[in-house]
Structure 1
Amino acid sequence: MEAKHVVITGAGSGLGASLALKYSEMGYHITLLGRTYSKLRFVADKMKSDSVSAYTLDVSSAEEVTRVFSEIKEESGTIDILVNNAGVGVFDDAEKISSTSIDDMIDINLKGTIFCTQAVLPEMKERNEGTIIQVISTAGLEGKASESVYCASKFGARGFTESIVKELADTDIHVLAAYMGGMKTSFWDDIYSKEEIQHLMDPDDVADIILANVKARKNLTVPEIVIKNHLT
């Protein structure tokens, strides 16, 4: 039986890397996507299986997403699972956030999620099967001080996700929205101190929870999960 194929954006570190390694252990073919090839290669080299591909991708470019996903399908076959994990955050008072940072967060966190989802939906609909995991963050559930634009981008991703869930209600395509708090990843390097980061969640634990909830089960589906640090 041909191995299932999972594509993960933002796969060079953190939760994306954790999910990639766990899916690899489960026998999936893994396609790693990210902006830095050396990071993707580092994750790939950790895998015991050589059933892995890596492509650099800027998810904020619709043209690049279309081109790279076309290459992925041609070289590695049907995409069974898409994990939209790529994200960026710049935190400050609302009036101090630069237009460049605003563009980055809206383009990557929101438009990137939309573009990558659009790239897999037609084939998933044609086969009437597939899974899309949207890594959104608790910033998509409530406003937070110093995170106004980041929250705006994540609220947008939440609205998009809830809408496609309704569009796909009569299909066998499963969409899981994962809303999690901060994890011990490089995402927070310039925001929290090393001591503060140590109190955040381990991405391996979050990956385990996502995999447990996205697993196909008879007569039930899990549309969303919220994973919080126990101190928040």
Structure 2
Amino acid sequence: MKLQGKIAVVTGAARGLGRAVARLYAQEGAVVYALDMLGAEVATLADEPGDIRPRQMDLADADDVAKIFAAIEAEAGRTDVLVNNAGIIFFNPVEQVSVAEWDRLLAVNLRGPFLCVRAVAPGMKQRRSGAIINVSSNAGVVGGLDESTYCASKFGLEGLSRSLSQEFTPFNVSVNTITPGHPMHTAMSEVTYSEETRKIWKDPMELAPAFVHLALQDASGINDQRIKAWDLVQQLAA
């Protein structure tokens, strides 16, 4: 029960890594608000052990994000942990990327985390407590073929996170980015991984303990870091 008494918000919680993190947070005692635009799928988390409160939310809709976070604040009183996990991807040569496709991906992958952080910032700063965990990717530091839009979003998320750390550290709030650090089995990886890579992929639940550890950090602990989840899990198990 490492997260007993914590109020956590996880975006992109219907599937994959977000679902695993939401489940483990609840098992560790947190009240978890599991957010996803896939309303029917995220609703099934209510049947999992612990206190998981699914909510349908379109991360690309600024008004919807504001409404959902205001409702969480009214119901729970605060957010202690924010996990910005939701993300989408596509592969196209840059000349084949439409403006609408560019805008949609950036709205989910980069503007979405900004909107969520903006929503929890006043409370975290006032309480001088909190942990913000932004799910990044190797595509946030290395370019990929036909991934100009996705890489732009993840490079942007890395920059946003480094700046947020400077802003939040005086308020004792930790801000970190995290990547899987190992191939994992998700709906996204079913599209992106080769047959060879699929042979070694991990269940997202195997990576989720790293998110529990980061949820416990403040500015004096792990902060302003880019963490590989699999490496951290191995360290914690040693």
TM over 0.5: yes
1:226 paired with 2:225, answer no
| 1:19 to 2:18 alignment | no
* Distance in 2, Cα, partners of 1:12 & 1:154: 21
- Equivalent pairs counted in the alignment come to 226
Spell out, residue by residue over 1:61-92, the C-alpha distance to the aligned partner (whole angstroms, 9 max, x if none).
22111111001111232111111001000112
User: Any conservation in 1 of the 2:131–2:217 contact (CA below 8 Å)?
Assistant: no
The farther-off stretch of 169-178 and 205-214 is 205-214
Q: Deviations over 1:177-205 (max 9, x none)?
A: 10235421011334446664343333122
Q: Corresponding residue for 1:137?
A: 137
Quote the RMSD (CA, aligned, Å). Answer: 2.2
- Residue of structure 2 equivalent to 1:30: 32
Match of residue 44, structure 2, among 38, 42, 45: 42
The residue number in structure 1 matching 2:108 is: 108
Q: How does 1:24-103 map to 2 (within 5 A)?
A: 24-45=26-47, 47-49=48-50, 51-103=51-103
Trace 1:147-186 onto structure 2 (pairs within 5 A). 147-180=147-180, 182-186=183-187
The residue that corresponds to 2:205 in the other structure is 204
Q: Secondary structure at the match of 2:179?
A: strand
How many Å apart are 1:209 and its aligned residue? 2.5
Structure 2 segments unaligned to the other structure (5+ residues): 232-238
3-state SS of 1:31 partner: strand
Percent same amino acid among aligned pairs? 32
Q: 1:185 to 1:20 in 2, by over 3 A?
A: same
* Alpha-carbon distance in structure 2 between the residues aligned to 1:219 and 1:130: 12
Contact 2:91/2:146 (<8 A) preserved? yes
Q: Cα–Cα, structure 1 residues 92 and 228, in superposed 2: closer, same or farther, change >3 Å?
A: farther
- Residue 21 of structure 1: CA displacement? 0.8
Q: Quick check: 1:138–1:226 contact (8 Å CA) kept in 2? A: no
